[in-house]
Structure 1
């Protein structure tokens, strides 16, 4: 394995290496009370071999999801550029301020990175990171894997996820990539994805999926799944026994169960439960009134429990449980047809598509 080039500082317009192993920081302009002309050092690692597809690996989009960030770092350390036909670009702590604080959103601007695209280089720190990811990293990539694990608010059933798209070609590619991750479950969401990593990837011409890994299985699920994607894309020569995934659809409004009062949430339903309408999701306790009966939260539909909130304080409007239903025959056939889809045969987009240059307007530091 070739030696790594460490502590590289990547400027906003610097071309990214196409081969070898490189690790360092992207310099995101950031004026704070401590530094008028400083920058946020956002971790970035690149491992590239010969010409082939490029995969963007994102972790820490939600800063409190530590297992995903650790897994991303383990992945890049394991890669050997001499055995690769392609490249992996990894942001192991994408929302770096949130990562340092151990919070979902940045403590500086309060923003969720996954709700900040397409971003603004001259906006808040989170917006500037989003702009760099969408305008500089994603256009060089064919595939985007957005890693998530258990955070402070929700834990999920182990799954690969995608947001449904009305364009049949985009939808098939997302399904094919989700299948390639070799997860035991694939969950399709119906959601407006403009401001998310999914929307950013679509605008950049890349195909993106998300990955949810619960606390107990996060490392193994992510490492095995990412290796499966690299093999499917032809970047590495490894093989795994294919898993027949369960296809789940989170398309209904009542798949999301929300708290309607403030208090301490006690979860009753568990991940993977085959629930029925009327079953208990959990209780909300007002512990300032110990003799008061807790408020029962019940499910409005049948479904599989794919997300639950941990026991703890909730406010009215907080999501405490997420359901999905099994895909119908048409949805399963669509997934099976996508399994054989291959499109990563064109010349590598990192050389075929020019990058968008950052505006020449000089960053003034915000004194």
Structure 2
């Protein structure tokens, strides 16, 4: 399969996207590295380019592994301008560097795609269970997107009723385009099974939308759980009211009950300054990994299966 490099210009920065295929069929855009400390998506996107090079494609797949070079070079969530790229889409051509990057990706990839796949992970500061996020009522090729996502290798599917503005996927949503995003891991570690899960799951999605003729089913992810609370915004959730050392009592992906203690914040003398509880039952979809925390930091996100509240906590000492 011939590979073409598309160059997207963002101010003085050039983003290189690999375009494969080009005949009749769906147009798929795959992003990796929107955040500079989330390398699972970068590695998976790079491997995906190699995997697709040996396959026959019905349509076009464009893969941008390094969506945010300044942040990736720094190894931090945001780049040199200290802006979160996933909060400034669709961006502007004459704005900050992050806004220009968002504009280049929006105009060069998202505007023309029929499905956006954005590969994220929990980064250095958090932990998340392996999950595929998607719009709860989204469709692709006339099929419910949730049914398509069930063919992936993710044990969790996060079906969102809405998503926070400024993200690549919220821009796709505004354009009426289907989208999914992946999350996993975190804590500053890279795990081979997470990267493999990403590649396998993208290939499955491509097969489901007709870009690939067939693709073996991934290893069962059962029991596959569909959660529905929250919009997946890691800036929202259970906010800490105290600074200190955060000691967790649960793990990412755990099922918890309303009022259950998720962790405690301790002062220099070891005294408990704050007890963090789940406001309602659900699953821990994000958990703070760094033990040093400050008031205002997000400690956790708990999402339930019914689409109601469940992301908060009482923060009571």
Identify whether the pair has TM-score above 0.5, normalized to the shorter chain.
Answer: yes
Instruction: Verify: 1:269 aligned to 2:250, yes or no.
Output: yes
Shift of 1:301: 1.5
Q: Deviations over 1:51-80 (max 9, x none)?
A: 221110011111110111111111112212
Match of 2:149 among 178, 196, 205: 178
Shift of 1:25: 4.2
Shift of 1:168: 8.4
Alignment of 1:294-313 (within 5 A): 294-313=273-292
Shift of the 27–132 alpha-carbon distance from structure 1 to 2, 3 Å rule, reads closer
Shift of the 70–135 alpha-carbon distance from structure 1 to 2, 3 Å rule, reads same
Q: Which residue in 1 is equivalent to 2:238?
A: 257
Contact 2:162 2:231 in 1 (8 A): no
Instruction: Verify: 1:22 aligned to 2:1, yes or no.
Output: no
Q: Which residue in 2 is equivalent to 1:336?
A: none
Contact 2:264 2:272 in 1 (8 A): no
Give the Cα separation in 1 of the matches to 2:61 and 2:274: 48
Give the Cα separation in 1 of the matches to 2:4 and 2:128: 33
As a proportion of its length, which structure holds more helix?
A: 1
Q: Which residue in 1 is equivalent to 2:174?
A: 203
Q: Which residue in 2 is equivalent to 1:194?
A: 165
Give the Cα separation in 1 of the matches to 2:204 and 2:231: 31
Give the Cα separation in 2 of the matches to 1:130 and 1:46: 19
Shift of 1:113: 1.1
Match of 1:101 among 51, 54, 74: 74
Secondary structure of 1:250 counterpart = coil
Give the Cα separation in 1 of the matches to 2:231 and 2:278: 12
Secondary structure of 2:228 counterpart = strand
Alignment of 1:186-335 (within 5 A): 186-214=157-185, 215-216=190-191, 217-241=193-217, 245-251=224-230, 256-287=237-268, 290-327=269-306
Shift of 1:294: 4.5
- TM-score (ref. length: structure 1): 0.73
Contact 1:119 1:131 in 2 (8 A): yes
Shift of 1:173: 4.7
Contact 1:156 1:307 in 2 (8 A): yes
Instruction: Verify: 1:86 aligned to 2:65, yes or no.
Output: no
Q: Which residue in 2 is equivalent to 1:10?
A: none
Q: Which residue in 2 is equivalent to 1:348?
A: none
Structure 1 window deviating more from structure 2 (119-128 vs 45-54): it is 45-54
Q: Deviations over 1:181-220 (max 9, x none)?
A: 3532211234443321122112334211111122543212
Instruction: Verify: 1:142 aligned to 2:114, yes or no.
Output: yes
Shift of the 195–270 alpha-carbon distance from structure 1 to 2, 3 Å rule, reads same
- Unaligned residue ranges in structure 2 (runs of 5+): 308-317
Contact 2:125 2:290 in 1 (8 A): no
Q: Which residue in 1 is equivalent to 2:16?
A: 43
Give the Cα separation in 1 of the matches to 2:132 and 2:270: 43
**Superposition CA RMSD, Å:** 2.7
Instruction: Verify: 1:132 aligned to 2:104, yes or no.
Output: yes
Instruction: Verify: 1:68 aligned to 2:41, yes or no.
Output: yes
- Unaligned residue ranges in structure 1 (runs of 5+): 3-19, 30-38, 329-367
Secondary structure of 2:150 counterpart = helix
Q: Which residue in 1 is equivalent to 2:312?
A: none
Shift of the 70–152 alpha-carbon distance from structure 1 to 2, 3 Å rule, reads same
Q: Which residue in 2 is equivalent to 1:157?
A: 129
Secondary structure of 1:195 counterpart = coil
Count matched residues: 296
